[in-house]
Structure 1
Amino acid sequence: MLQTKNIREKEPVIHRLARVEGQLRGVQKMIADDRDCREVFQQLIAIRAAVQSASLSYLQGVVSECLLNMDDSDDLDVQKATMTDLIKMLGKLSE
C-alpha cells in the first residue's frame, strides 16, 4: 500500500482540492441561476485544470515519497508492479 503521513506533501494538494470544491459549488449555482453557458464552460475548464494540477502535484510529491519508503522495498516485483500501476494512472490523467 502506498501512503504518506508527511503533511508537507499532502497539505498543498488538500488546499487545491478544497478550492476545487468551492469552484464546483460555484458552477452548480451558475447553472441553477441560468448563467451564460460560456461562463459556465470556462469555469468547468478551470476546474479540470485545477484537478489535473492537484493530481500532478500529488503524483510528484506524495507518490515519490511513498515509492522511496515502500514497505516492500526489497521486493523488485512489487516495485515494478507499483510503478506500472502509477504509469497507467498517469496515462489516464492525460486523457
Structure 2
Amino acid sequence: MVTEQAVHPHQEESACCSSGETGRKSHHSEQTKNSLINRLNRIEGQVRGIKGMIEKDVYCDDILNQIASVQSALNGVGKLLLEHHMKSCVIDRIQEGDTEVLSELLATMNKLMK
C-alpha cells in the first residue's frame, strides 16, 4: 500500500488547498504564510504612505512612483502564491482526477495578467 506521504512528498511542507465542510481552504506552511503576511504588511504600510503623500500634496510623479512600487510588490505576492498553488493544489487536484482545476487556473492567471 502506498502512503499519502509517498504519493505527495510536498504535502506536509507546502500543502495548499483542500476541501472542507465550508469549501476549499488553503493550508500553507508557516514559513510561506509568514512570508506572505510580511509582504502584505509592508504593502499596507506603503499604501498608508501614499495616502499621507496625497494629504501632504507631494509631487504627483513621486506618488505615481510609489504606486508603481506597490503594484510591483503585489505582483510579487501574487507570483509567490501562484507558485505554491500550482505546486500543491493544482497538482493534487489533477492527481485526484479533477481537471476542472486547469480552467480555474487559466481564468485566475488571466485576471492576474490584466
TM-score, normalised with respect to structure 2: 0.70
**Counterparts in 2 of 1:62 and 1:10: CA distance versus 1, 3 Å:** farther
2:108 is equivalent to residue 89 of structure 1:
yes
Q: Report the structure, 1 or 2, having the larger helix content.
A: 1
Pick 1 or 2: higher relative contact order, CA cutoff 8 A, min separation 6.
1
| Percent of matched pairs sharing the same residue | 23
Size of the aligned set, in residue pairs, is 91
Unaligned runs of 5+ in 2: 1-23
State the distance in 2 between where 1:63 and 1:4 align.
13
Unaligned runs of 5+ in 1: none
RMSD: 1.9
Q: 1:19 aligns with which of 12, 17, 42?
A: 42
1:30-69 equivalences under 5 Å are 30-69=53-92
Flag the structure with higher strand content: 2
Aligned to 1:80: 99
Distance 1:94 1:67 in 2: 19
The change in CA–CA distance for 1:90 and 1:2 in structure 2 (over 3 A counts) is: farther
State the alpha-carbon separation in 2 of the partners of residues 86 and 50 from structure 1.
Answer: 21
CA distance in 2, matches of 1:63, 1:22: 29
Where 2:58 maps in the other structure, the secondary structure is coil
Query: Is the CA contact (8 Å cut-off) linking 1:24 and 1:47 kept in structure 2?
Result: yes
Whether the aligned pair in 2 keeps the contact of 1:4 and 1:66 (CA below 8 Å) is no
The residue type equivalent to 1:94 in the other structure is M
Q: Please, what TM-score do these two structures have when normalized by structure 1?
A: 0.82
